[in-house]
Structure 1
Amino acid sequence: MRLFLAVLPPESAVQELDAAVRPLRMLPQGTGLRWTGLESWHLTLAFLGHVDAEQLAALEPRLAHIAHEHAAHRLRLAGAGRFGDRALWVGVSGDTLALRKLAEAAADAARRSGIGVDERPFRAHLTLARSGTARADLKALAGALADFQGEEWTAGTLCLMRSYLGAGPAHYEVVGEWPLTPES
Structure 2
Amino acid sequence: MRLFAAVLPPQSAVQELADAVRPLHALPQAAPLRWTALPTWHLTLAFLGQVEAEALPELSAGLDAAVAEHSAFELRLAGAGRFGDRALWAGVDGDTRALGRLAESVSAAVRRVGIDLDDRPFQGHLTLARSSTPRSAESARRRPGGPDLAPLADALAGFRGEPWQVATVQLMRSHLGAGPSHHERIDGWQLARARA
Relative to the length of structure 2, the TM-score reads 0.90
In structure 2, the residue matched to 1:47 is 47
Secondary structure at the counterpart of residue 5 of structure 1: strand
Residue among 146, 163, 166 paired with 1:135: 146
In the alignment, structure 1 residue 171 sits paired with structure 2 residue 186: no
In structure 1, the residue matched to 2:87 is 87
More moved, 53-62 vs 138-147: 53-62
CA contact (8 A) 1:33 1:131 kept: yes
User: Cα offset for 1:68?
Assistant: 1.3
Count of aligned residue pairs for this structure pair: 183
Partner amino acid, structure 2, of 1:29: Q
Q: Deviations over 1:104-155 (max 9, x none)?
A: 1111101101111132211000000011126111010000000100110001
Poorly superposed stretches of 4+, deviation over 6 Å: none
In the alignment, structure 1 residue 156 sits paired with structure 2 residue 189: no
Partner amino acid, structure 2, of 1:91: G
In structure 1, the residue matched to 2:110 is 110
Structure 2: any 5+ residue segments left out of the alignment?
Answer: 134-144
Secondary structure at the counterpart of residue 71 of structure 1: coil
CA contact (8 A) 1:78 1:150 kept: yes
Structure 1: any 5+ residue segments left out of the alignment?
Answer: none
In the alignment, structure 1 residue 20 sits paired with structure 2 residue 20: yes
Following the alignment from structure 2 to structure 1, what is the Cα–Cα distance between the partners of residues 31 and 147? 10
Secondary structure at the counterpart of residue 27 of structure 2: coil
CA contact (8 A) 2:67 2:105 kept: no
User: Cα offset for 1:93?
Assistant: 0.3
CA contact (8 A) 1:67 1:178 kept: yes
CA contact (8 A) 1:48 1:118 kept: no
Following the alignment from structure 1 to structure 2, what is the Cα–Cα distance between the partners of residues 118 and 47? 8
User: Cα offset for 1:54?
Assistant: 2.6
Secondary structure at the counterpart of residue 48 of structure 2: strand
More moved, 114-123 vs 67-76: 114-123
Secondary structure at the counterpart of residue 128 of structure 2: strand
Following the alignment from structure 1 to structure 2, what is the Cα–Cα distance between the partners of residues 150 and 69? 27
Relative to the length of structure 1, the TM-score reads 0.96
In structure 2, the residue matched to 1:71 is 71
User: Cα offset for 1:32?
Assistant: 2.1
CA contact (8 A) 1:80 1:143 kept: yes
